[in-house]
Every structure is written in C-alpha cells, then in structure tokens.
Amino acid sequence: MSKKLNKKYNAVARAESDVSQTFVRGAAILTLSMVVVKIFGLLDKVILSSVFSSISYTVELANGTMTQDFTSFGLGLYSNAYEIFVVIFTVATGGLPIAISRLVSESTAQKRYKDVKLIHKISVPFFIVVGVASFLILVGASFIYVNIIKSPYSIYAMLCLAPTVLFGCLVSIYRGYFEGQRNMAPTAISEIIEACVKLFIGALLAYVIAVAGMNSYAENGTVFGMAFGNIKDAYQTIVAFSVAGAIMGITLGSCASFLFVFIRYKVLGDGIPEEYYKNSIDARSKRETFIRICKTAIPTALGALVMSLGSLIDQIIIQRVLLNMIETNPEALQAQYSWYFPPEMFKGHATTIHTNLWGCYSAALTFMQLVTAVTQVFGSSAMPNVTSAWTKGNKDELKRSIETVIRMTMLFTLPMSLGLTALASPVMEMVFFDDLITRTGGNILMLMGITTIFTAASTPVCSMLQGIGRVDLPMKLYTICMLIKIGVTWMFVSIPSVNIQGATAGSLIAYAVILVVGMYLLIKHSKVMPNLFATVVKPLIGAIASAATAWGVYRLMDNVISFGDFGRRYEVICSVAVAVAAAVVVYVIILLILRAFTATELKFLPKGEKIAKVLEKFGLIE
C-alpha cells in the first residue's frame, strides 16, 4: 500500500466528507473528461465523414451526371456495428460496475473495509468469465444480425468490435470500485485514453484502408484481391473495410483503457490505509458477498438490457420498415430523396438506402449523446453519494444530495437540449459535409433536441432509485416504456412522408414517462421532497430564453455574414458561434437573476471560490 497515495487520496476521509461537495467534485471530474471524450468522438465522426465522402464515383444519368458518395452509408454501417454490441455489452457490464460502486460505497459508510477488498477480489474472476463468454456470443450473433437487417457490409466492423466487450468487462471492475470510493479520476483518465486511441488510431486506419482500397480498384479492378461485378459493390466494400478500421481503433482504445486502470490499481493500491483494514470487522463470507453482488447487479443489468434491447428492436423495426417501403412503395421515398440517389438505388433487393437513412439518424444521434453523456456522469457520481446518505439514514444529507443531482442535471441538460432544437439544421450543416445528412439529419435533430431533455434527465433519476436500494424499479420502468417506444416508433416511421424523420418520436414519449414516473417513485420511496422550483423551473426559464436568443441571433447573423468565395460552411460556423455565445450570456444572466446557482456548485469551477464570493456579496447566489 502506497503511503504517498494515502496522503493524496484517502477513501475513508472522502466517505466522511460533505456529500454534495463530493458529488459536485466527482461530477466535475467526470464531466471534464466526458467533454473531452465527446469532442474527440465528434471529431472522429467529422473525420470519418470526410473519409467516406472521398470514396465516390460519378453516375451517368439521362439528364446529366451525379456524384455518388458514401458518407451516410459509412455512418450507417458504423452505427449498425454498435447496436448488437450494445445489447451484449450491457448484459456483460451493465450491472456489475454499478453493483460494485454501490456495495463499496455502502461498506465504506459502514466501516466494513475488509468487505471492500473482498468485493473486488470476487468480481475479478467473475467478470473475466463473463467477458470471454460475451465476446464469443457477440461474434456468433453478428452473423445473425446482419441477415435480419439486410446489411451484409456491417459484418466486418462488428467482428472488429467484438473484443471490446472483453476489455470493457475488465475495465468496469476497476471503474466501479474507484467510483464506489468517490474517486472519479481513474475513470476519467481511462476514458480520455480510450478516446485518444479511438480518434487517432481509428481515423488513421480508416483513411489508410480507404486510400489503399480505391488505389487497388483503380489499378487492377479488385479490392484487396476480391473481384466485383460493378463499381458500386466494390466501393461499398471499401467503405465497409474502412469502417472496420475505424472500429478497430475503439477496440485498441478499450484495451489501453484497461491497461491504465489495472496498472494504477497494482502500483498505487486502492486508497484505503492499511490500519483501517486491521481495525475493520471480519468480512462476510465469499458466498454471501457473491450473492449480494448478484442481487444488486442482476436487476440493474436487466434494466439496462431492456433499454438496449428496446433500442436494438427499434433499429431493426426502422430499417425493416424502410426496406419494406422501398420494395412496396419506392415512389414515396424517391419523391423525397431522388436528389441524393440514382434511380436504380430505389429498385431491386440489393438496395442500401435504408442503411443510408439510418446513417442520417446516427449523425443526429451524435449530438444527443453529447448531452446524455454528461448526465450519465451525474448518475455515476450520484450513486455512491445517495447510497452513503441513505445507508446512514441522514435525511438532510439525502435531500441535499438529491437536489444537487437534479439541479446540476437540469442546469446542463435544458439549455443544451433546447439549443439543439433551435439550431438543429445549422449545427448539422456545420459539422457534416453530406447534403442528405445535413437536411434529413437536421429535421431529425429538431425533435431529438426535445427528446434529449427526458433521455438525459432520466439516467440520474434511475441511478438515485438504485442508490436508495430500489434497484428493481428502473428495470420495471424501462420494460414498460420500451414497449411504448417500439410501438410509437413503428407507427411514425411507417408513414411514407415521415419515414426516418419520425424515428425519435417513440423515444420522446417513452423517456418522458420514465422521467415523470421515476421522479414520483424517488420522492415516494426516499420520503424526500426536493425543491422542484429551484432545481427545475429556474433552469427551464433560463434555457427557454437562451434557446430563443440562439435562434434569433443565428437568423440575424446568417443574413449579415458573408464570406463570398470562402463558402457557406464558414458563414454557418461563425453564425452558430455568435448565436451560442449570446445564448450562454443570456442563460447565465437569467440564472443569476433567479439565483439558481449555489456556492457549492460554483466552487468547483475554475476560480470558482472567487466567483462565489463576488456573487454572494451581491446576493446573486444562495
């Protein structure tokens, strides 16, 4: 046990500190890392979009020519690789990290430090077995899945992604352990390492494979030794291999992430001084500890499984409905998308339009995930704090913790979500090069922005339910609401004039139900009534004003700014930047007027203590 570490970080001292402060500190660390990770992820999508758009050829039409590129097709394959992976990954990792985090936090609060060590010891071999089994299942399931969604080109990326489930299992052991001790730094650093490898190695592999494939086809008419009957099949195969290269970056990143947390644990230890282990009561038996882990992990994993299964079924339904629409009513889709695809793409059984349209949805989903990632951080940070307060039976501490989580969630979620709705089309135009993605994805993102409010806010609420011991409730909520989601999605996507643009309607209704019912259950079972006016209504007022500001300023700047020969994209970038800056200023001013901030939250910002003192002097914070 490293003495140096014990001086720098003491898990016992952290457990005894103020719960709202440790939540904000942990959330700040994870939020910072998540911002870096999501920025890298967005850059990755931008770079990959550029790579896929460079894979193109010219199609001769009766009235001229059309350039056929594969941006939306590549993003569709990229997204397809994730869907079946997420289901199996959720089963493998969805419950154990949360179970470890909760049980470690509970045992630390009860001063059962030998139990803390035993929890980790039991989880290691268990998760290795789960990881290996999940890897093998994922490989087999990939071949079945590509046949169901009629996307054979997705198989290469799916097989490259399969090892990630094993490394994800291994890294989750250590992330859950440290998070249970309220030490979020190892998780944050490991996530940044993973994102760096994904961005630099993955994008490089995608580019090299794309260039090599096109050169190979230009020189001898084959792609890596494979011959094709036409240029479309050859270029789609090149895109498929390029996507697989990008996915390989994810697998290598997860491996690097695991190596970091493993080496850190072995070299620096767990942060609990040796004397605390000596003075601790004896640990529970291995059998009892294993049962406790399973009782906590299984309901949590099942809840997460229902969510991911719902998304998987959602994707299957969306792509199958679109494919059926192409086969039975191609005129309806051709009337909307004839500008983007040659006529033969709407005919025959080998069409890939459904994959292209799914790529548009995936592109819009990238921005939604920027917001939900932040609130997932709040959920991870909230779990040990709420659990500790609940275990101690301290109602005041529990109320502070719940209010802090809700306030921080709404302060971030509301302005970002409404901002996406207000600037949906320009944001898509700013990032992506493909006209199909910017227009169709912009329409999708407009509704998805509203959906993001409920999707993002439901995660911390469900985490707090788990924190107070009701690990069964999120699973029941998710099961009911995923049925609603699937039904509503099928209904809207089946309308020919709506098609992929209605894919987010089911999520909007389902997650709204989860959030509202989840909050009711949290209040009922915790017997704590948070101040909803201070934590929800005040941020909502500021968010509506900031979104309206963003919309108005963008329209104004878009009419004023002109770069001439530099192009439309630079005009959009500048207009969006000015609109966002103005919205942020309006949001902060309104929150200060409404006194929506507290000193505790501000103190963890850069120069936060000085800012808090100044604002307290003028009576602008509580």
What are the residue boundaries of the structural domains of the chain, listed by start? 3-324+337-530, 538-622
Residue 435's pLDDT is 84
CB 408 within 8 A of CB 461: no
The runs of H, that is alpha helices, within 221-339 are 231-268, 274-279, 286-328, 330-337
The answer, yes or no, to whether residue 353 has pLDDT greater than 80, is yes
SS3 226: strand
Residue 459's pLDDT is 82
User: Does residue 570 or residue 248 have the better pLDDT?
Assistant: 248
Instruction: Read off the pLDDT band of 538 (50, 70, 90).
Output: very high
CB 129 within 8 A of CB 95: no
Instruction: Read off the pLDDT band of 380 (50, 70, 90).
Output: low
- As to burial, measured by CB atoms within 10 angstroms (0-12 exposed, 13-18 middle, 19+ buried), residue 159 is middle
The answer, yes or no, to whether residue 6 has pLDDT greater than 50, is no
Phi, psi angles (nearest 5°) of residue 460: -60, -35
Residue 183: left (phi > 0), alpha (psi -120 to 50), or beta? beta
Please tell me whether the overall predicted TM-score, pTM, comes out greater than 0.85 for this model: no
Percent of the chain topping pLDDT 90 = 26
What's the DSSP call for residue 605?
A: S
The answer, yes or no, to whether residue 129 has pLDDT greater than 80, is yes
Instruction: Read off the pLDDT band of 3 (50, 70, 90).
Output: very low
User: Does residue 28 or residue 582 have the better pLDDT?
Assistant: 582
The answer, yes or no, to whether residue 24 has pLDDT greater than 90, is no
* 65 membership: H or E segment, kind and range: strand 64-69
Q: Which amino acid is at 490?
A: W
Q: Which residues contact 28 (CB under 8 A, 6 or more apart)?
A: 604, 605
Q: What string of DSSP letters covers 383-418?
A: HHHHHHHHHHT-HHHHHHHHHHHHHHHHHHHHHHHH
The answer, yes or no, to whether residue 4 has pLDDT greater than 60, is no
Cα–Cα distance between 214 and 212 in angstroms, integer? 6
Q: Which of 303, 511, 522, 527 is nearest to 406 (CA)?
A: 522
What's the DSSP call for residue 272?
A: -
Angle between helices 71-93 and 19-54 (to 10 degrees): 150
CB 29 within 8 A of CB 184: yes
Q: Which of 193, 208, 321 is nearest to 255 (CA)?
A: 193
The model's pLDDT over 291-306, given as tens digits with 9 standing for 90+, comes to 888 887 777 777 677 7
CB 49 within 8 A of CB 75: yes
Instruction: Read off the pLDDT band of 9 (50, 70, 90).
Output: low
Residue 618's pLDDT is 65
The model's pLDDT over 562-609, given as tens digits with 9 standing for 90+, comes to 776 567 778 888 999 999 999 999 998 998 888 877 666 665 555 556
* 66 membership: H or E segment, kind and range: strand 64-69
State the chain's mean pLDDT as an integer: 83
Average pLDDT over residues 20-48: 75
Q: What string of DSSP letters covers 4-39?
A: HHHHH--HHHHHTS-HHHHHHHHHHHHHHHHHHHHH
Q: Which of 458, 369, 460 is nearest to 416 (CA)?
A: 369
The model's pLDDT over 436-461, given as tens digits with 9 standing for 90+, comes to 888 898 999 999 999 999 988 888 88
- Strands 222-223 and 56-61, by their bridges, are unpaired
SS3 170: helix
The runs of H, that is alpha helices, within 55-181 are 71-93, 96-109, 113-148, 155-161, 163-180
